[in-house]
Amino acid sequence: MAHEHHHDGPTRFYLFGGKGGVGKTTLAAAHALRLAGEGHRTLLVSTDPAHSVSDLLETRLGDQPTAAGERLWAMEIDPEADARAYVEGIREDAEAAVSKAVLPALDRHLKLAVQAPGTAESALFDRFTRIMTWCPDDYDRIVFDTAPSGHTLRLLTLPSMLGAWVEGLQAQRAKVNKLQGMWRTMAGVSEPEREDRVLVRLRQRAERFAEARRRLHAEAVFHPVLLAERLPIEETARVIEQLRDTQIPIGALYVNRLWPEDPASAFVTERVAQQNEYLAEIRDRFAAFERVEVAQSARDIVGRHQLVDLAARLGDAAPD
């Protein structure tokens, strides 16, 4: 199975995936701290709406990278604001391309599009692909606390689909432009051929996506994060399955929040016994992958010094 060290070149992008509540934001932040500590200029990108990365790093973060320590920068993206901006960009393109008569209908459609389930994810991926272009010039390593879902990543591994879609639109637009050109000639209105803005934008996006796909395959690693519990185990199996066609290497699985033994407590003993059954299942079902088993901290990790401790623990636990 794919492991980090199967890359010919360096791993530059680290994607942490898993359902909410498994601690992936904290692990991603600790991982970013560790990379920065190893001398890499590291950018941590969070999409956690609770702004917990600001709290963890004790730094006020926003939509653009902010220095958060030695060789460490971080930013917090608001997926909803991103989705709105993304749709607004589409509207501007469309406005230049369609007749005024259909604008009200287009606006209604786009209003719905902002709320549509796929839009935030498309906008987020669009943003991811832009951020990826900052590396390796501005940053050596980029850690994303939330990977796009396996579903999105899989859609984006179908370059043919996006490509065909753009080609189709191009052909259609070219036909319209040609007709308009003929009409202008007949009407004696001369307008120099201008490259269609919508197409330029679409072509750029298609190229950026294709480049992002290539780099995800060559320079990224996906770290599933799970707990020793039934639902996260099934979710992880599903994501790994979905990622099979994306050619994104899967790195170590982070099994988070493992309770320590306590022979004095019957409750903890029972709890740990159940956890160990799940752990055995994880080791068995995901035997093809490396694992990092992370002990539950006695208290929630809320600040920087605890994060530094966790980063050191991950360093000790990490597979070579």
What integer pLDDT is reported at residue 315 of this predicted model? 77
One domain, residues 284 and 250: no
One domain, residues 17 and 83: yes
One domain, residues 122 and 74: yes
What integer pLDDT is reported at residue 208 of this predicted model? 86
Picking from 256, 277, 306, the residue at the C-terminal end of a domain is 256
Helix (H) or strand (E) holding 258, with range, is: strand 253-258
What integer pLDDT is reported at residue 4 of this predicted model? 44
Report yes or no on 150 lying in a domain: yes
One domain, residues 66 and 182: yes
What integer pLDDT is reported at residue 278 of this predicted model? 98
- What is the domain extent for residue 194? 13-256
One domain, residues 286 and 239: no
What distance in Å separates the CA atoms of residue 15 and residue 271, rounded to the nearest whole number?
30
pTM: 0.81
User: If you ran DSSP here, which 8-state letter would residue 158 be given?
Assistant: -
One domain, residues 159 and 303: no
One domain, residues 125 and 225: yes
One domain, residues 237 and 280: no
Picking from 256, 285, 301, the residue at the C-terminal end of a domain is 256
One domain, residues 61 and 127: yes
One domain, residues 279 and 181: no
One domain, residues 195 and 308: no
What distance in Å separates the CA atoms of residue 70 and residue 33, rounded to the nearest whole number?
9
What integer pLDDT is reported at residue 15 of this predicted model? 94
Tally of domains within the chain = 2
Report yes or no on 1 lying in a domain: no
Mind listing the pLDDT tens digit of every residue in the chain (320 residues)?
Answer: 344 446 778 999 999 988 888 899 999 999 999 999 999 999 999 988 777 899 999 999 999 999 999 999 999 998 778 878 877 877 777 676 666 777 777 777 777 767 766 677 777 888 899 999 999 999 999 999 987 766 666 655 554 455 555 566 667 667 777 776 777 667 665 554 455 666 677 778 778 888 888 899 999 999 999 999 999 999 999 989 888 877 889 999 999 999 999 999 999 999 999 999 999 999 999 999 999 999 998 888 888 899 999 999 887 776 64
Q: Is the peptide bond before 136 cis (omega within 30 degrees of 0)?
A: yes
